[in-house]
A and B are shown apart, each in its own frame.
Chain A
Amino acid sequence: MKANPRDVNTGTYYMDGDVAAGHGALAAGCRFIGGYPITPSTEAAETFARIAPKAGAVFIQMEDELGSIASVMGASWSGVKTMTITSGPGYSLMMEIIGLGAMIEAPFVILNIQRGGPSTGVPTKTGQADMMQSRWGSHGDYEIIAISPDSPQELFDYTIKAFNLSEKYRCPVMIMSDECVGHMSEKVVIPPAEEIEIEPRRFYNGPKEKYLPFKPDQDLVPKMVKAGDGYNLYITGLVHDERGYPITNQKEKGKRQQFPTRRLVDKIRLNADKIIELNEEGMDDAEVVVVSYGISYRVAIRGIEKAREKGIKVGNLRLITVWPFPDKKITELASKVKAFVVPEINYGQIVFEVERCSHGQANVVLIPHGGAGVHNPDDIAEAIEYAVKEKKKIRKVIEWKTRLEKFVFEGGYKLNK
């Protein structure tokens, strides 16, 4: 299906990432955003509020993040594409209801413009420390898809992709951007509507009385209907069967039976290969591979250039989808390369996944950064250099001591100057 021309503000613009995401959401067919202002994501909400009424879409500013995500869940089941926009602290508040979304399989998108944390942290500056939270933040077992764009153009493109994935797999899709990308102004090309591919909702078309809201198709994803279409829906956040009825019978519980929650993880895990999108470059003869995502990728490019100038063979792997994690790819690379270098704007999150998937075959070097800024490319270049030289297999994540750390704790950094 193609996008509706009414929704697409075709043209070439100079805009920041947040604004691009707002345009992307509308172009993807989003008809409802329930949001709550939080720095640095607000511009996305403002943009949508401005452009939505001219395209028959609605923006409502709810009383808090819990309200906005709950309203998004409701709007999703009313039959429209929905999204909410937030940043770290708001994201933490949404955790319970993200679990509900996974359970009632409501397709929705969350745009998280990450900032420095924990807690209130550094609201106006960047961070990448919500990556594990996006995967594990709600209680119980579930799987999500997370995408990490690195430019305003990608915030437009991948917002559309996020909507498509959420409709296809009926699961929460997180756009894990960060303040740097959100507030970065660049050229953004919004293509004509006929060039934008839109995934329609998987509506059920059979006889009403035969409809089972949680009966999966071949790819483990069930078909949806709209609330108020006379299907007599029963949808619950409790563990439920295909009819949607809660599993309450004590006897039934003890028995060996497939739990429907199993499917919630399987529908992503078994389709992972179709979902994962990577960008690799210079892998053929690489000795060291830099694994990065989001804004760190753009910084890493400079670091890699510097290392290559010294004659080191460096591969560059960018995770466009961070979750589901590309286990196979990392394992495959691990058997070929000496080491992975992982720069991320946190003190170690995705690096543990890289460590896990490398199965002891390659060293793993973490270049941490607490947030409120990006890496120094020299740190990345030096870490690459070190990783090439290191002969021993080191049985832990090697934490690179960055220039910033040395400056703050050993150099002359004075607070309150």
Chain B
Amino acid sequence: MKTNLKAVLTGTHTLSGNEAFIEGAFAAGCRFLAAYPIMPAIETIERYLKRSAEVGATFIQMEDEISALAAVIGASWTGKKSMTVTSGPGFSNMMEHLGLGVMLETPCVIVDVQQSGPSLGIPTRAGQGDMMQARWGSHGDYEVITLSPSSPQEMFDFTIKAFNFSEKYRTPVIIMSDEYVAHKKEKVIIPRADEIKITPRRYFKGQKDKYLPFKRDKDFVPRMVDIGDGYKFHVTGLTHDDKGYPIMLEECQEYNVHPILWKIRNDTEKIIEFQEIGTKDAEIVIVYYGATSGAASKAIKQARDLGIKVGSLKLDTVWPFPDKKITELAEKVKAFVVPEINYGQIVSEVERCSYGNANVVFVSHGENGIDNTEDIVSAIKLALNEEKIKKGIIEYQSQTGRV
């Protein structure tokens, strides 16, 4: 499937992460944005509006984030690729409708430009404190696909990927950006429209009266139709059968919800992407994602200069988590070093998957912004010197320590 030429700004540009995201969305075929303005995601809406007339895309500023995501889910059923952008506080408000998106199996994309939290936190400061929330924030069982870009270029690429995933698996996909990536201006190369792979929506093509909105294909993903095409379908957030009719029985709950998880869990190998550098001979592997990438790659270089064998694993998709990869690495390496701009979230996943085979050293950026190369280098040294395998996460205490 090819994209609208006007929507793809082929060429080399200098764009911020927020701007690159909108370009990516247009290139991916997104034509509907509903949002409520919030720092630090505002520039996305400005960019969208600037370009919306020539692309032919629709925007509505809703009264809050709850309604923004509700509108996005509604719009998606009209056949338009839809998305919303927000930051931590807004993302928290969206939690109920994230569950609705999962239950109605509606393709849509949510961007969370993370700020420093909790609550109002510091709106102008980067954070990575919403990572676990993306996975667990709504009630009930569900699986999400979460991408974590670390640069404007990745923001562009991952946005297209996110829309493709959401169409392929009929699920909300979350892009976990952050204030740093969102405002960083860098070169972004936008390829020609025909070079961009777009996954089309999985439409049902059969007799109108035979359509069942939740009848699953072999890969557990059901097929969609648009509102107004005469299928007269019904969908509900209640536990439902293939027809979309509610049935309040535990058998139906199993029938309905378990496959929603399977469609992601059984396909993790195809979804998970990471960038692995120098892990073959590594003693220490740094696991990082998103905004910490800059400091992490600098630290790796410094440590290599010191003669330490450091490898790196950058997670492009954070959820589903690359369990197998970490387990496999844990058997080979001495320790993992995990820098995050929070007080320990993804690091506990690394701990879980390392099965006591490697130490896990956590470097909290909580106190130090994104630029803490020195801390990471010291943590690498600490990890190297630790002979015994410790039970539990070793938290690296920065020089100043806890005040």
A395 CA to B353 CA in the complex, in Å?
A: 8
Find out whether the CB atom of A407 lies under 8 angstroms from the CB atom of B251: yes
B102, B243, B254: the one within 8 Å of A119 (CB) = B102
- The size bracket of the interface on B is 35 or more
The answer to whether A141 touches B402 (Cβ under 8 A) is: no
CA distance A311 to B253 in the complex (A): 34
Whether A116 and B140, one on each chain, are in contact in the complex, defined by CB atoms closer than 8 angstroms, is yes
- C-alpha spacing A324/B125, complex, angstroms: 28
| A-side contacts of B91, CB under 8 Å | 139
- 8 A Cβ contacts from B346-365 to A: 348-349, 351-352, 354-357
Question: Which of A102, A120, A237 has the most C-beta atoms of chain B within 10 angstroms of its own C-beta?
Answer: A120
Q: Mark B87-102, 1 if CB is under 8 A from A, else 0.
A: 0111111011011101
For A141, give its contact among B118, B122, B247, B254 (CB under 8 Å): B118
CB < 8 Å neighbour of B355 from A95, A360, A373:
A360
- Asked if B272 is an interface residue, CB under 8 A from chain A, the answer is no
Query: Residues of A within 8 Å of B, CB-based: how many?
Result: 81
B117 contacts partner chain A, Cβ-Cβ < 8 Å: yes
Interface centre among A96, A327, A356 (most CB of B within 10 A): A96
Determine whether the beta carbon of B99 is less than 8 Å from that of A139: no
Q: Give A369 to B342 CA distance when docked, in angstroms.
A: 32
Are A92 and B352 in contact, CB atoms less than 8 angstroms apart?
no
Name the distance in Å between A135's Cβ and chain B's nearest Cβ. 7
Does the CB pair A408–B116 fall under 8 Å? no
Report the minimal beta-carbon distance from A170 to chain B, rounded to whole angstroms: 14
Report the bound CA distance from A93 to B355 in whole Å: 36
Across the interface, which residues of B come within 8 angstroms of A117, CB to CB?
99, 138-141
Contact A139–B66 (Cβ < 8 Å): no
**Is the CB of A47 closer than 8 A to any CB of chain B?**
no
Contact of A370 among B98, B112, B253 (CB under 8 A): B253
User: A355 with B125: in contact, given A88-B140, A99-B117, A120-B238 (CB under 8 Å)?
Assistant: no
* Residues on B with beta carbons closer than 8 Å to the beta carbon of A259: 366-367
- The segment from A124-132, A194-202, A288-296 that touches chain B is A124-132
Stretch at the interface among A76-84, A183-191, A261-269, A275-283: A261-269
For chain B, residues 116 to 138, give those with C-beta under 8 angstroms from any C-beta of chain A. Answer: 116-122, 125, 127, 129-130, 132-133, 135-138
* Distance, CA A137 to CA B137, complexed state (A): 4
A98 CB to nearest B CB, Å: 8
Closest chain B CB from A371 CB (angstroms): 5
Say if the beta carbon of A238 comes within 8 Å of chain B: yes
| B116 / chain A contacts, CB cutoff of 8 Å | 140, 239, 261
Q: Which residues of A sit under 8 angstroms from B349, Cβ to Cβ?
A: 356
Q: Tell me which of A13-21, A29-37, A249-257, A298-306 binds B.
A: A249-257
Q: Is the CB of A140 within 8 A of B367?
A: no
Task: Tell me if A159 is interfacial: C-beta within 8 Å of chain B.
Answer: no
Inter-chain contacts of A92 with B (CB < 8 A): 95-96, 98-99, 137-139
Q: Are A122 and B88 in contact (CB under 8 A)?
A: no
Q: Which stretch from B23-31, B192-200, B255-263, B309-317 is at the chain A interface?
A: B255-263
Q: Is A286 an interface residue (CB 8 A)?
A: no
Partner of B88, one of A124, A132, A140: A140
23 pairs, A vs B, C-beta closer than 8 Å: A88-B139, A92-B96, A93-B66, A96-B93, A100-B118, A116-B253, A117-B139, A118-B138, A118-B142, A122-B248, A125-B248, A129-B140, A132-B135, A133-B95, A136-B132, A138-B118, A139-B118, A237-B121, A261-B116, A359-B391, A360-B355, A373-B250, A416-B243
B-contacting residues of A (Cβ < 8 Å)?
Answer: 66, 88-89, 91-93, 95-96, 99-100, 102-104, 114, 116-125, 127, 129-130, 132-133, 135-142, 236-239, 247, 253-254, 256-259, 261-262, 264-266, 327, 331, 346-349, 352, 355-356, 359-361, 368-373, 395-396, 404-405, 407-409, 413, 415-416
Given A122-B238, A130-B140, A141-B343, 6 additional A-B pairs, CB 8 A = A88-B140, A137-B136, A253-B125, A261-B121, A371-B250, A415-B242
Question: Closest 5 interchain pairs by CB?
Answer: A140-B117, A117-B140, A360-B355, A118-B140, A140-B118
